[in-house]
């Protein structure tokens, strides 16, 4: 698949935002973080800002962005529609939770319920985003059981690292948050390795012969078009195996290994040194997830490419 930068930014930015929003909602409701007004402004501002920018960027890939709202009418059958509905619905408890935290300086009572609802909405919205891709049977590298947990864990990872950095910058470090981020990095790396192993070794689900209904070895003799068309531009993309291997390694190191190591150092460092380490860990993890998400799209093979020269998908 052609890696559209607007969709890559959408999935990673909204994933970070929803991960941070969910953790803030849970931690605030449990009373494990201080209800400091400026911490609320920074944390919820970053979370909702990332979510909003991500959702807006997703419309840039549409032919008619002004009609994006119409997609939400098909929520009974479309994961894209469900994602849109839930994304908008999550703003309500998230906004109320922000009012309680920032205006009234409280995350307990009724505000705690708003935080819990915001956390639930964040998790379900990320799951719907993952299912947009996992439900597409024509792309076998997406249509598998690894995609939803990977999306959820990477959202948790980037959100936990962002929360850890914020808490340390405000002098309210919580070792449990750091440990959660490290655990998410380890789990995320394991899931990505399993996912890559799966797509590398999975048998083809379709071939040029099965797509055309012919027998024997089927290959393209002549291109069906004199110039590239929309399907070729959007559905056909090839990344060299050596480049994919190098990018996978970079994604693993930047997105998981180094952030986990820096978070471990932050646990024992303390003070502004730990805060600096946490900020760098959060930034590197996001860059690593950007590379991971680019590969997620670039390595995908759509079944329609069988009619344009691809031998199997």
Q: How far is CA 196 from CA 66, 79, 136, 146, 272, in A?
A: 37, 24, 18, 10, 38
The rounded distance, in Å, linking the Cα atoms of 123 and 148 is 11
For the chain, the 3-state helix, strand and coil shares in percent, each to the nearest 5, are: 75, 0, 25
- The one-digit pLDDT tens for each residue of the chain (313 residues) are 778 899 999 999 999 999 999 999 999 999 999 999 999 999 999 999 999 999 998 877 666 666 666 767 778 889 999 999 999 999 999 999 999 999 999 999 999 999 999 999 999 999 999 999 999 999 999 999 999 999 999 999 999 999 999 999 999 999 999 999 999 999 999 999 999 999 999 888 888 777 777 777 777 776 677 677 666 666 777 776 788 999 999 999 999 999 999 999 999 998 999 999 999 999 999 999 999 999 999 998 888 877 776 777 8
pLDDT for 304 equals 83
User: Which residues lie below 8 Å from residue 227, measured CB to CB, with a gap of 6+?
Assistant: none
- Could you tell me which of 57, 41, 25 has the C-alpha nearest to residue 290? 57
* Res 232: pLDDT: 67
What is the pLDDT at residue 208?
78
**What pTM was computed for the model?**
0.93
Q: Which of 112, 94, 111 minimizes the C-alpha distance to 21?
A: 94
Q: Which residue has the tokens 């990673």?
A: 12
Q: What is the pLDDT of residue 67?
A: 62
Backbone φ and ψ for 98, nearest 5 degrees, come out as: -65, -40
Residues near 3 by Cβ (< 8 Å), separated by ≥ 6? 237, 294, 297, 298
Query: Residue 31 is inside which H or E element, if any?
Result: none
Sign of CA dihedral 41, 42, 47, 51: positive
Contact between residue 68 and residue 59 where contact means Cβ atoms under 8 Å apart: yes
Radius of gyration of the chain, Cα coordinates, nearest whole angstrom: 21
User: Please, are residues 93 and 114 in contact by the beta-carbon 8 Å criterion?
Assistant: yes
Phi-psi map region of 309: left, alpha, beta (phi>0 left; psi -120 to 50 alpha): left
Residue with token string 């990332």: 50
Nearest in space to 257 (alpha carbons), one of 175, 193, 196? 193
* pLDDT recorded at residue 69: 66
Let me know: does 202 contact 195? Beta carbons within 8 Å.
no
- With 0-12 / 13-18 / 19 or more C-beta atoms within 10 angstroms meaning exposed / middle / buried, residue 159 is buried
Residue 207, strand partner residues: 312
Cα torsion 39, 41, 47, 49: sign: negative
β-sheet bridge partners, residue 312: 207
pLDDT of res. 159: 98
pLDDT score for 195: 98
The kind and range of the H/E element at 143 are none
21 and 141 Cβ atoms separated by less than 8 Å: no
Cβ–Cβ < 8 Å for 308, 38? no
pLDDT for the residue numbered 64:
63
pLDDT for 222: 67
């Amino acid at each position: 698949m052609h890696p559209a930068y607007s969709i890559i930014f959408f999935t990673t930015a909204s994933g970070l935002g929803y991960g941070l929003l969910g953790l803030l909602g849970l931690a605030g409701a449990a009373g494990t973080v201080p209800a400091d007004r400026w911490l609320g402004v920074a944390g919820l501002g970053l979370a909702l800002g990332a979510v909003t920018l991500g959702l807006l960027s997703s419309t840039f890939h549409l032919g008619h962005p002004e009609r994006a709202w119409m997609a939400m009418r098909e929520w009974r059958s479309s994961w894209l529609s469900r994602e849109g509905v839930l994304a908008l619905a999550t703003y309500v408890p998230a906004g109320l939770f922000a009012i309680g935290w920032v205006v009234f300086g409280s995350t307990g009572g009724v505000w705690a319920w708003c935080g819990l609802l915001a956390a639930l909405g964040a998790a379900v919205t990320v799951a719907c985003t993952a299912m947009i891709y996992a439900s597409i049977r024509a792309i076998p590298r997406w249509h598998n059981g690894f995609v939803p947990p990977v999306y959820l864990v990477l959202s948790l990872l980037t959100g936990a690292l962002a929360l850890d950095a914020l808490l340390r910058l405000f002098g309210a470090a919580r070792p449990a948050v750091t440990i959660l981020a490290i655990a998410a990095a380890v789990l995320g790396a394991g899931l990505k390795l399993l996912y890559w192993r799966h797509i590398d070794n999975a048998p083809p689900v379709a071939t040029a012969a099965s797509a055309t209904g012919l027998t024997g070895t089927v290959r393209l003799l002549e291109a069906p078009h004199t110039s590239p068309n929309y399907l070729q531009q959007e559905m056909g993309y090839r990344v060299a195996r050596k480049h994919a291997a190098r990018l996978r390694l970079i994604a693993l190191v930047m997105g998981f290994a180094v952030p986990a190591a820096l978070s471990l150092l932050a646990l024992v460092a303390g003070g502004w040194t730990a805060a600096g380490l946490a900020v760098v860990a959060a930034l590197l993890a996001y860059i690593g997830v950007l590379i991971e998400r680019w590969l997620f799209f670039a390595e995908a093979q759509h079944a329609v490419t069988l009619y344009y020269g691809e031998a199997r998908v």
